[in-house]
Structure 1
Amino acid sequence: MNARLSRFVIALVTSLATVSALAGEVQVAVAANFTAPTQVIAADFEKDTGNKVVASFGATGQFYAQIKNGAPFEVFLAADDTTPAKLESEGQIVAGSRFTYAIGALALWSATDGYVDPNGDVLKRNEFKHIAIANPKTAPYGLAATQVLDKLGLTQAVASKIVAGQNISQAQQFVATGNAELGFVALSQIYKNGKVTQGSAWLVPESLHDPIRQDAVILSKGSANPAAQAFIEYLKGPKAAEVIKSFGYKLDTH
């Protein structure tokens, strides 16, 4: 090996060692509706920065309780804006880190083609045996579902038919497995690149529920972790934005 090649190899090894030393890991709590986008974004983030995302998925309200009880999460991607704001008021986040990373959409979905009509009239016909929603006390998409039923005057009519999942993923599973003929899910769970990927769905008009503004924060436990800040910055970037939009979310333009 000549001297020039030797110096190149040493420089390359040193550079790789430096990147390895700088690469970190960040513990992220993620609202269940954002599971699929997170998996894509986390893989891109690791490839582009060397940092690794260790993600846990669940209901926003359950994560709030875990964070308050000392869970080791460093970043929180919630399904609403009120829970992160509450954590901020309680001094549980890095000041200035809260922002809206996505605005979600609600869909009424069936795993059966043609079961849900484009206008959601299947709800008013009320011929189904079970309808799945996420627990409205812990899952913002479940709360939005109850608001839709209220606005349509159907709360009492369908009350005995509701099966509630712990989070939006479980609600979607109830429908996917046939335990409920239809259910309210996050559009992102059934949508990719401009179309519903399975079954039939009604995209619920935004006027029927409060806006589903999803905020992210760096939690206090992540204040000294550069990988936490790096992930939040990556989430704000153009590559992540394209992924987020591909799953049917809107971006905050304010």
Structure 2
Amino acid sequence: MLKIFSSLCLRTVSGLLLVLGLTLSAVALAESQVDNSVPLTIAVAANFSAPMKLLASEFEQQTGRLVRLSIASSGKLFAQIQHGAPFDVFLSADQDKPQRLVEQGLAVSGSQFTYAVGELALWSSQQHIDPEQTLRQGNFRKLAIANPKLAPYGLAAEQALVSLDLTEASKSKIIFGESIGQAFQFVASGSAELGFVARAQVIAAGSSDSLSKGSVWFLPNNLYAPIRQDAVLLVRAKTDSGAGQFLEFLQSEYAKNTIQNFGYGSISVDAKGSQ
């Protein structure tokens, strides 16, 4: 009788454990499932807007998940994330801000990696001029750069001016854009004769007849610190498998080729962020 009772108890316990295991598995699956009706919200540094639009479109076609982009300076996006903005993924124009978000518990540790290495260009919407010599000789009224406190490309522009020993000579002629996108628009509209912009912006502008008519100097990399741009998964999306899927897609051969076609440098081993 005791053996029968023990056997029944064991079968009952085993059954309960099985039910509990299935329940926990179902909960975990539900938490990681993707609701394709809810867009994936990605905060994107302004310099990366053109390639990101292509990548987002391709990702939507491959997965069926809608993507919503919020494009601004890295500093502005960083501040918005700190104040609770509902972003799932952050594509910064530097490594520092994603790392700080990880340290502050706002981004997932181990998810940070370098997706692009940016390059700086001095651009003018005027044809048949030499931007480098125009800058060195001071033959311009206004020079547009992104706010170095908000935009890594603005910081790189300041570093380039220091390297060229032109900081004081150009100081009174500088106009600041909130982002590298606004700095580009200052030049495109004629508000500034010259502007430090991203190489990728100049390449993207080449597809537009109204903007491709200009002159450009691609600065040597030794004039400024490497612009290593990192992506990171934000904590609010850590159970959203779609966000993780996008970060994997961003590291695919298709994405890497697209990014390089827009003029970003190749990602060497020592340029990678935390993996």
Q: Which residue in 1 is equivalent to 2:90?
A: 76
Q: Is the 8 A contact 1:80 1:215 kept in 2?
A: yes
State which of 53, 57, 76 in structure 2 corresponds to 1:43. Answer: 57
The Cα shift of 1:123 comes to 1.1
Q: Which residue in 2 is equivalent to 1:26?
A: 40
RMSD between aligned residues: 2.0
The Cα shift of 1:143 comes to 0.5
The letter of the residue matching 2:193 is E
Q: Is the 8 A contact 2:36 2:66 kept in 1?
A: no
The Cα shift of 1:75 comes to 0.2
The letter of the residue matching 1:125 is Q
After superposition, where does 1:235-250 map in structure 2 within 5 Å? 235-250=250-265
State which of 187, 195, 200 in structure 2 corresponds to 1:183. Answer: 195
Q: Is the 8 A contact 1:192 1:246 kept in 2?
A: no
The letter of the residue matching 1:157 is A
Distance 1:193 1:72, change over 3 A: closer
Distance 1:243 1:198, change over 3 A: farther
Q: Which residue in 1 is equivalent to 2:137?
A: 125
The Cα shift of 1:23 comes to 6.6
Secondary structure, in 3 states, of the residue corresponding to 1:149? helix
Q: Which residue in 1 is equivalent to 2:78?
A: 64
What are structure 1's unaligned runs of at least 5 residues?
1-19
The letter of the residue matching 1:35 is S
After superposition, where does 1:133-152 map in structure 2 within 5 Å? 133-152=145-164
The Cα shift of 1:253 comes to 2.5
Q: Which residue in 1 is equivalent to 2:129?
A: 115
State which of 234, 243, 249 in structure 2 corresponds to 1:234. Answer: 249
Q: Which residue in 2 is equivalent to 1:155?
A: 167
Distance 1:210 1:111 in 2: 26
Max radius of gyration: which structure? 2
1:174 matches 2:178: no
For residues 42-65 of structure 1, the C-alpha deviation after alignment (integer angstroms, 9 at most, x for no partner) is 000101111111000001011111
The Cα shift of 1:114 comes to 1.9
Normalising by structure 1, report the TM-score: 0.87
Q: Which has the higher helix share?
A: 2
Distance 1:23 1:239 in 2: 25
Distance 1:159 1:77, change over 3 A: same
After superposition, where does 1:189-204 map in structure 2 within 5 Å? 189-192=201-204, 197-204=212-219
Distance 1:25 1:224 in 2: 15
The letter of the residue matching 2:114 is T
What are structure 2's unaligned runs of at least 5 residues?
1-33, 270-275
Q: Is the 8 A contact 1:23 1:49 kept in 2?
A: no
The Cα shift of 1:87 comes to 1.1
Q: Is the 8 A contact 1:24 1:50 kept in 2?
A: no
1:106 matches 2:146: no
Distance 1:190 1:198, change over 3 A: farther
Distance 1:172 1:199 in 2: 12
Q: Is the 8 A contact 1:28 1:76 kept in 2?
A: yes
The letter of the residue matching 2:222 is S
Q: Give the 4+ runs in structure 1 shifted more than 6 A.
A: 193-196
